[in-house]
């Protein structure tokens, strides 16, 4: 009940298998105010070539939270950077320098003594890089739904038996962090407005039909 102190949490209690509430701030730009109101595990991704100022919540004794910070999906030359208000880092007056590798992740934990926030960090976790490609569909003789994956070194793999409606004159693009989509297309004289999503391992999913001509 709001406003009522729960004596069950006073002392020497065991909490098992708990999960902290998470908040995903998505891609952040020049400034963002952190709050623990909606979760104590906060996700954010930097914007390329942008300094993001993270404004900390009010310092309250005993408060703590974790920030999982993902670098932009660009090369180091255009990496985003991060600064924090009212945070003391190890090896005072140490600083935290965000990892600059594409899509690298840093994990930052913060705890407050009521005056300051203290930051502890582990950096440069591998998170995920979109580094492959896929060719798909087309017309070898009639229409096809064959796909061919391309490795991160540019090597094309053999045909993969297709999924989805065979067609040609379609288009494709990447979306999300590491996925792709084939869309639209043409069979004989008929246009189609279906799409096929592609997983981050190159697996093409079945047709998603939008409207008409499907």
Site for another protein in 141-180 (CB under 8 A): 144, 146, 148, 150-154, 156-159, 168-180
* 51: contact with another protein by CB under 8 A: no
CA pair distance 183, 105, nearest whole angstrom: 32
* 66: contact with another protein by CB under 8 A: no
Residues 22 and 41: beta-carbon distance below 8 Å: yes
CA pair distance 138, 36, nearest whole angstrom: 50
Out of 75, 90, 94, 114, the residue judged to bind another protein by CB under 8 A: 75
Cα dihedral value 93, 99, 100, 105, nearest 10: -150
Nearest to 47 by CA among 79, 69, 22, 21: 79
> Count of residues binding another protein (CB under 8 A)?
70
Residue 57 or 138 having the CB closest to another protein: 138
* 207: contact with another protein by CB under 8 A: no
Q: Write the burial class of residue 180 (CB in 10 Å: 0-12 exposed, 13-18 middle, 19+ buried).
A: buried
Residue 114 or 210 having the CB closest to another protein: 210
**Maximum C-alpha span of the chain:** 74
Residue appearing with tokens 């140490």? 94
Out of 52, 73, 100, 104, the residue judged to bind another protein by CB under 8 A: 73
Tell me the closest approach of the beta carbon of residue 199 to another protein, in angstroms: 8
Residues 110 and 119: beta-carbon distance below 8 Å: yes
Tell me the closest approach of the beta carbon of residue 98 to another protein, in angstroms: 16
Nearest to 59 by CA among 119, 19, 120: 119
* 55: contact with another protein by CB under 8 A: no
* 186: contact with another protein by CB under 8 A: yes
Out of 43, 89, 125, 135, the residue judged to bind another protein by CB under 8 A: 135
Provide the binding-site residues for another protein, judged by CB under 8 A: 26-27, 47-49, 72-75, 77-78, 102-103, 129-140, 144, 146, 148, 150-154, 156-159, 168-186, 191-193, 195, 197-200, 202, 210-214
């Amino acid at each position: 009940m709001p406003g009522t102190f729960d004596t069950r949490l006073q002392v020497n209690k065991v909490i098992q298998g708990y999960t902290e509430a998470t908040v995903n701030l998505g891609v952040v730009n020049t400034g963002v105010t952190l709050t623990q109101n909606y979760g104590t595990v906060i996700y954010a991704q930097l914007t390329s070539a942008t300094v993001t100022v993270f404004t900390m919540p009010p310092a309250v004794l005993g408060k703590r939270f974790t920030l999982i910070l993902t670098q932009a999906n660009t090369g180091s030359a255009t990496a985003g950077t991060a600064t924090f208000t009212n945070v003391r880092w190890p090896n005072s007056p140490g600083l935290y320098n965000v990892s600059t590798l594409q899509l690298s992740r840093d994990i930052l934990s913060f705890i407050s003594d009521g005056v300051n926030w203290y930051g502890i960090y582990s950096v440069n976790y591998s998170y995920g890089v979109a580094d492959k490609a896929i060719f798909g569909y087309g017309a070898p003789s009639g229409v096809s739904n064959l796909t061919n994956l391309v490795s991160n070194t540019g090597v094309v793999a053999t045909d993969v038996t297709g999924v989805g409606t065979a067609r040609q004159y379609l288009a494709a693009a990447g979306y999300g962090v590491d996925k792709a989509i084939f869309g639209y297309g043409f069979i004989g004289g008929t246009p189609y407005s279906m799409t096929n999503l592609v997983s981050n391992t190159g697996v093409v999913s079945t047709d998603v039909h939008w409207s008409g001509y499907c």
